Structure 1
């Protein structure tokens, strides 16, 4: 395997314990003949996310999985950034929901914090591909939009019910999964990753 490209028949560790992410990436990578193993299935510990950027945290997770398994590893770090909150919750998006993943409380916290007409927001996703020797490549995706209140929609996860992408009247949580996946921050990051590492 050459650095930079994942060839058909290769194995890749997804450095995530999130079943939803595993399903999404397994589907995306199946067309390329890449087998995806998850950190959860391999009982890898989740590293402490101590970096101050999405790229830093994605690299931390990918490198930990690559070094533990001797296989290339892919990690993502993503979150919601709100202009009126100075870019928060940002890298702390999951932490705002607390250990019980209380996203309704986290969404209410955002709405309380805005308290103005400034409702601009964006989702960021950074994908990092790491090799066991410590080489990494990162790819960033972003989707701009605005905060909607009250929350709308039953689909999606996390902050999707309060995020309406630019040019749309529906929140991410009101869209079918395939629709959201076509325009999401993760889709943009994956497209860049695909062009660099798969095609």
Structure 2
């Protein structure tokens, strides 16, 4: 089975490739000649995931899946949420986004947050969605050099280290994207049987 993962984010691609079963050949946007920005204009995480999957199916004809992820911070009424990648502006700079988040939380004692990933799968003319959550807290400063995005300031519940301090395998086992991908994998296995 061939599936396109509709992302240009090499970190996401690496995370997901480590989870997908061998019988699924994962193609990137580069592999199918898609070099334009895939639209993400919806106001929800789910909406963006579906929009990206439908765009690839419509314009390139491939069965595919797309994800969208947001960090939802309780004290900020769910911000940055769907705007996580562009929280500090259209330049999509992870350091700028993290700086803005830490600044907005400076005087907040409530540091509760969750990552949310939604994967939209466009397969055989049908659309399925899979959601994964990871609850935790935002630290007051960065820790670790691994991961990407907000990983250096996010500690999952029950962990003393940020996502940037744990291994990729650990992150995949407890993280939002790993949980959503595992639901996707279970679905793919169920239709193979």
Question: Same-fold call, TM > 0.5?
Answer: yes
Choose from 115, 126, 135 the match for 2:118: 126
Q: Distance in 1 between matches of 2:112 and 2:11?
A: 27
Instruction: Provide the secondary structure at the position in 2 that maps to 1:171.
Output: coil
Q: Distance in 1 between matches of 2:182 and 2:155?
A: 21
Choose from 84, 93, 100 the match for 1:109: 100
- Paired residue for 2:150? 159
Q: Could you list the per-position Cα deviations for residues 143-162 of structure 1 after superposition, in whole angstroms to 9, with x for gaps in the alignment?
A: 00001011111111000011
RMSD of aligned C-alpha atoms?
A: 1.6
The number of equivalent residue pairs is 188
1:67 is displaced (CA, Å) by: 2.0
CA contact (8 A) 1:130 1:136 kept: yes
**Segments ≥4 residues shifted beyond 3 Å:** 97-101
1:101 is displaced (CA, Å) by: 3.8
1:97 is displaced (CA, Å) by: 4.5
Q: TM-score scaled to structure 2, two decimals?
A: 0.90
Report matched runs for 1:66-105 at 5 Å.
66-105=57-96
Q: Could you list the per-position Cα deviations for residues 53-85 of structure 1 after superposition, in whole angstroms to 9, with x for gaps in the alignment?
A: 111100000111122232210100002111111
CA contact (8 A) 2:5 2:27 kept: yes
Choose from 184, 187, 192 the match for 1:193: 184
Q: TM-score scaled to structure 1, two decimals?
A: 0.88
Instruction: Provide the secondary structure at the position in 1 that maps to 2:40.
Output: coil
CA contact (8 A) 1:146 1:166 kept: yes
Q: Distance in 2 between matches of 1:85 and 1:60?
A: 26
1:37 aligns with 2:27: yes
Structure 1: unaligned runs, 5 residues or longer: 1-9
Q: Distance in 1 between matches of 2:167 and 2:14?
A: 16
1:183 aligns with 2:174: yes
Structure 2: unaligned runs, 5 residues or longer: none
CA contact (8 A) 2:137 2:156 kept: yes
